[in-house]
Amino acid sequence: MYKVSVMYPNREGARFDFEYYRTAHMDLVFRLLRPFGLVRTEVLKGLSGGEGKPAPYACIGNLYFETADGYEKGVAASGGALRGDIPNFTDITPVRQISEVIDAR
C-alpha cells in the first residue's frame, strides 16, 4: 500500500474551507483517481503541535493507493482538474509526500 500525504502548512491568516475540501474536493479526487488504484482517502484537521504550539499543518489529506505509481499516473491524467480546484478551498500551497506503508495495525 502507498500513501500520498497532501499537507497544507499552517500559517496565520491563511484561508482553508474544510467543508468544501472534505466534500467537494475529496469527491473529485476519489472520482478522478479511483481508476488509478485509489483505495481510500482521509482528511485530518490540524489542532496542535503539542505543548501549546499551533499545528504545523492546517490540514492533511491522505490518499491510499494499491500501487507505487498510481498517484503519478492519476495526476498525469487529471492533475489539471485537481490543481484547478485548489483556489476553491485554500490559498495555501500544499506540500506532497509519497510513502510506502510498511506497517499498519
CA distances, 80 to each of 37, 42, 75 (Å): 19, 21, 8
Q: How far apart are CA 63 and CA 75, in angstroms?
A: 12
CATH number at 81 reads: 3.30.70.100
- This prediction has a pTM of 0.93
Per-residue burial over 14-41, b = 16 or more CB atoms within 10 Å of its CB, e = otherwise: eebeeeebbeebbebbeebbeebbbeeb
Residue 66 lies in a domain: yes
Q: What is the pLDDT of residue 46?
A: 97
Residue 80 lies in a domain: yes
pLDDT band at 63 (very low <50, low <70, confident <90, very high): very high
Domain residue limits at 64 = 2-100
Q: How far apart are CA 96 and CA 49, in angstroms?
A: 19
CB 19 within 8 A of CB 26: no
Residue 105 lies in a domain: no
CA-wise closest residue to 1 among 69, 65, 73: 65
Residue 38 lies in a domain: yes
Give the other-Cβ count within 10 Å of 64's Cβ.
18
Across the range 28-32, mean pLDDT stands at 97
